[in-house]
C-alpha cells in the first residue's frame, strides 16, 4: 500500500500538474500524511453510480485531473463503439461546489476528442439530462453530481444511448479504457470548443411537456387547484423546474421553502442534502404545519430523489419512507389508469430487490407483471430496453426515494414524481381523504408491509475491507435462526444462487452478479445486506408484514411490526 501511495504521489510531483497542486502535495506530506495517504492510495473507481468521491487533490479525489482522465477514457470508448465523428453527448451538472467547472472540463475533453457536445447552460435536474440524451439522439452523457452526498463530495454519472446509466458490458469496458489513461498527458484537454453547443430553455420546454403528458387525471388537478403544497429544493436543481411544472399541472397554491430555495453547494441549512433524512425536511415540515398544508415535498440536489410529508390518521405530520411513497405511486399508476380506461393488457412495473414486496402483491392482484431488478435505476432502464418491444412500462421505483414514471427517460425523476404525487394527493382529496388514509386502506386490502433500513459506515482505507469481512462472515456462517424465526432461504446474488436452508435445494438467480445477501425467515420477514457501490457503507434492509383486518387496528399492528424489526436488529447485533 505504502509503495502505491508513494508512486502515485511522485507521479503528480513529477507530472504536468499546476505548481499550486504540487505545493499543496508537499504541504500535505509534511503536515497531513494520513490525509495524503487517503488521497493517493488508489484511483477513484466507477461504482453503481459512476465516479464519486471527496473533492480535493489526489488520485482518490474528485478534481479536474481525475475528471479529465475519466472523461478521456469514456470518450475513447464512445469513439470505439460508435465510430469517430458519429458521437453526440449531453453534459449537465447540479448545484454542488465545482460542478460547473467539472461539467465544462467534461465538455472540453469530449469536444477535443471530436465528439459533439450539448452542454446545459446552467444547472439542471439529472432526469432532464437522461431525457435530453433520448430527445437529441445522443450516444451518451455525463452529469456532474454526487446526488444526496454531503457537501465535501462530487461525482460523475456516465450514461449510454438509451438515457440509462452504464450497465455491463459498457461499465467495465469504460473502466478498462479509463485505466489505460496513464496520466494527464494522455488527456486531450482542449481544441474542440467548436463542437460544444449550449442548451437550455428549449430542452426544458420539451421535458416539461413530457412530464405533463404523464398526468392521468388533469381534471382532478384543476378541481383541486388550491391543494396546499409546500416544496423544498434543499439548495438543489429542483427549483429550476418544479414550480413551473406544478403550475402547468394546474396547482395554484404552492409555497416554496425560502430558506432552502437558493442553489448552494455548501447546503447551509442541512448536514445531508437528502430527503431521506428527517433533518433535511425539517424546515419544510415546519412550514407545512404552519400553513396546515396538504402535502410537503422535497428533492435532493440533482432532483432524482423525492421525499414527502403528510398528515397521518391522527392529524400529526409524518414523513413517508421511500417504500410507502413507491407503493402510493405504483398503486395510483395502476389503479387510476385502469379507472380512466387507459391501461394496456401488457402494462408492466419494475422495482428493485430491496424494495417492498407490497408492490409485487398489488401488481399481481391487477394481473400486471412486476419485475425485480438489482438496486439502481440503470437496471430498471436495462429491463425496459429488454422488454419494450413486447411490454408497456408504466412505473418503476426503489425504496431509496426514487421513482420513474413513463419511459421517455431512463433514470429516476423527482420532477415528474413531485407532480404526480401532488396529483395523487388531489385525487384522494377529491374523494374526501388524505394520502395517509389511502395508505392505510391499501394495508387493509393487501397486508401491512413495514420496512426499515440501517446504514453502517466504515471510513478510510480499512473501511472497505471491514465491510467485505462482514459479508463473508454472513456467507460462510449463515445464521440458522434470527429473532426466533428459522432462516428458510438464503439468496446470494454474488453467487447467483438461492438456497432452501431446510432442504438444501438450490436454484439459479437470473440477475447479474451483485454483492447482496438476503435472508428469508419462516415468518415472512426479509433481511437484505448490501454494501454501497458509491460510499464506505453497508446497508441492512428489513421487511416484515402482517394482515390488517381493519383501519382501526393500524396502530396496534404497526407496533407489532416495529417490535419485530427491533428484535431482528438486536439479534443480529447491528446496534
Neighbouring residues of 465: CB distance < 8 A, sequence distance ≥ 6? none
- The answer to whether the beta carbons of residues 355 and 396 sit under 8 Å apart is no
Neighbouring residues of 9: CB distance < 8 A, sequence distance ≥ 6? 25, 29, 36, 40
Nearest CA to 237 out of 138, 144, 310 is that of 144
Length of the chain measured in residues: 575
Per-residue cell: 27:
504541504
Q: How far apart are CA 477 and CA 96, in angstroms?
A: 43
Q: Name the β-bridge partners of 371.
A: 350
Residue from 99, 130, 147, 416 carrying the catalytic annotation: 147
- The answer to whether the beta carbons of residues 463 and 469 sit under 8 Å apart is no
Nearest CA to 366 out of 311, 300, 445, 295 is that of 445
Q: Name the β-bridge partners of 220.
A: none
Neighbouring residues of 293: CB distance < 8 A, sequence distance ≥ 6? 228, 229, 230, 255, 287
- The answer to whether the beta carbons of residues 513 and 506 sit under 8 Å apart is no
- The answer to whether the beta carbons of residues 465 and 471 sit under 8 Å apart is no
Per-residue cell: 92:
449537465
- Residue with the three cell numbers 430491496: 354
Per-residue cell: 525:
420477514
Q: How far apart are CA 206 and CA 130, in angstroms?
A: 13
Phi/psi of residue 196, nearest 5 degrees: -100, 125
CA distance to 163, 329, 460, 464, per residue, from 127 (Å) = 9, 18, 32, 30
- The answer to whether the beta carbons of residues 126 and 157 sit under 8 Å apart is yes
End-to-end CA distance of the chain: 32
Neighbouring residues of 12: CB distance < 8 A, sequence distance ≥ 6? 21, 22, 25, 40, 57, 58, 59
CA angle 424, 430, 431 (to 5 degrees): 95
Neighbour tally for 444: CB within 10 Å = 16
Neighbouring residues of 345: CB distance < 8 A, sequence distance ≥ 6? none
Q: How far apart are CA 574 and CA 482, in angstroms?
A: 12
Q: Is 485 designated active site?
A: no
Q: Burial level of 3, CB count in 10 A (0-12/13-18/19+)?
A: exposed
- The answer to whether the beta carbons of residues 353 and 518 sit under 8 Å apart is yes
Neighbouring residues of 25: CB distance < 8 A, sequence distance ≥ 6? 9, 12, 13, 36, 57
- Residues with catalytic annotation? 147
Amino acid at each position: 500500500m505504502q509503495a502505491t501511495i508513494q508512486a502515485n504521489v511522485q507521479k503528480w510531483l513529477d507530472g504536468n500538474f499546476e505548481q499550486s497542486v504540487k505545493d499543496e502535495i508537499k504541504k500535505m506530506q509534511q503536515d497531513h500524511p494520513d490525509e495524503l495517504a487517503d488521497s493517493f492510495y488508489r484511483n477513484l473507481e466507477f461504482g453503481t453510480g459512476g465516479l464519486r468521491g471527496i473533492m480535493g487533490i489526489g488520485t482518490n479525489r474528485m478534481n479536474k485531473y481525475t475528471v479529465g482522465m475519466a472523461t478521456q477514457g469514456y470518450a475513447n470508448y464512445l469513439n470505439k463503439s460508435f465510430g469517430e465523428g458519429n458521437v453526440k453527448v449531453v453534459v449537465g451538472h447540479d448545484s454542488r461546489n465545482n460542478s460547473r467547472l467539472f461539467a465544462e472540463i467534461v465538455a472540453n475533453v469530449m469536444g477535443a476528442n471530436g465528439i459533439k457536445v450539448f452542454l446545459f447552460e446552467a444547472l439542471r435536474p439529472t432526469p432532464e439530462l437522461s431525457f435530453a440524451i433520448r430527445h437529441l439522439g445522443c450516444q451518451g452523457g455525463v452529469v456532474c453530481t454526487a446526488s444526496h452526498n454531503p457537501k465535501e463530495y462530487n461525482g460523475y454519472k456516465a450514461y449510454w444511448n438509451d438515457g440509462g446509466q452504464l450497465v455491463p458490458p459498457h461499465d467495465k469496458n469504460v473502466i478498462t479504457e479509463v485505466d489505460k489513461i496513464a496520466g494527464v498527458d494522455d488527456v486531450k484537454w482542449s481544441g474542440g470548443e467548436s463542437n460544444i453547443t449550449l442548451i437550455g430553455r428549449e430542452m426544458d420546454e420539451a421535458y416539461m411537456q413530457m412530464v405533463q403528458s404523464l398526468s392521468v387525471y388533469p381534471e382532478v388537478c384543476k378541481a383541486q387547484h388550491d391543494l396546499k403544497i409546500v416544496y423544498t429544493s434543499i439548495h438543489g436543481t429542483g427549483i429550476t423546474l418544479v414550480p413551473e411544472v406544478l403550475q402547468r399541472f394546474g396547482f395554484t397554491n404552492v409555497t416554496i421553502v425560502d430558506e432552502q430555495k437558493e442553489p448552494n453547494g455548501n447546503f447551509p441549512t442541512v448536514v445531508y442534502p437528502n430527503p431521506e433524512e428527517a433533518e433535511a425536511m425539517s424546515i419544510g415540515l415546519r412550514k407545512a404545519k404552519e400553513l396546515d398544508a396538504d402535502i410537503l415535498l422535497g428533492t435532493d440536489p440533482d432532483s432524482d430523489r423525492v421525499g414527502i410529508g403528510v398528515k397521518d390518521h391522527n392529524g400529526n405530520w409524518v414523513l413517508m419512507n421511500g417504500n410507502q411513497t413507491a407503493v402510493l405511486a405504483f398503486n395510483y399508476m395502476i389503479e387510476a389508469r385502469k379507472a380512466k380506461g387507459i391501461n394496456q393488457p401488457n402494462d408492466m412495473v419494475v422495482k428493485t430487490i430491496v424494495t417492498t414486496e407490497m408492490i409485487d402483491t398489488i401488481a399481481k392482484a391487477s394481473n400486471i407483471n412486476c419485475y425485480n431488478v438489482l438496486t439502481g435505476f440503470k437496471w430498471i432502464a436495462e429491463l425496459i430496453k429488454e422488454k419494450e418491444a413486447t411490454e408497456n412500462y408504466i412505473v418503476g421505483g426503489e425504496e431509496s426515494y426514487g421513482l420513474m414514471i413513463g419511459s421517455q427517460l431512463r433514470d429516476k425523476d423527482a420532477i415528474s414524481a413531485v407532480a404526480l404525487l401532488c396529483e395523487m394527493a388531489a385525487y384522494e382529496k377529491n374523494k374526501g381523504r388524505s394520502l395517509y388514509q389511502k395508505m392505510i386502506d391499501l394495508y387493509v386490502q393487501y397486508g401491512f408491509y413495514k420496512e426499515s433500513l440501517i446504514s453502517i459506515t466504515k471510513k478510510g482505507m480499512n473501511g472497505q475491507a471491514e465491510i467485505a469481512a462482514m459479508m463473508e462472515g454472513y456467507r460462510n456462517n449463515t445464521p440458522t435462526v434470527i429473532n426466533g424465526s428459522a432462516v428458510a432461504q438464503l439468496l446470494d446474488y454474488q453467487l447467483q444462487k438461492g438456497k432452501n436452508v431446510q432442504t438444501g435445494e438450490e436454484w439459479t438467480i437470473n440477475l447479474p452478479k451483485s454483492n447482496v445477501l438476503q435472508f428469508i425467515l419462516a415468518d415472512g420477514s426479509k433481511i437484505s445486506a448490501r454494501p454501497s457501490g458509491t460510499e464506505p457503507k453497508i446497508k441492512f434492509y428489513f421487511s416484515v408484514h402482517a394482515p390488517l383486518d381493519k383501519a382501526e387496528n393500524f396502530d396496534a399492528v404497526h407496533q407489532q411490526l416495529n417490535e419485530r424489526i427491533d428484535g431482528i436488529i438486536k439479534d443480529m447485533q447491528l446496534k
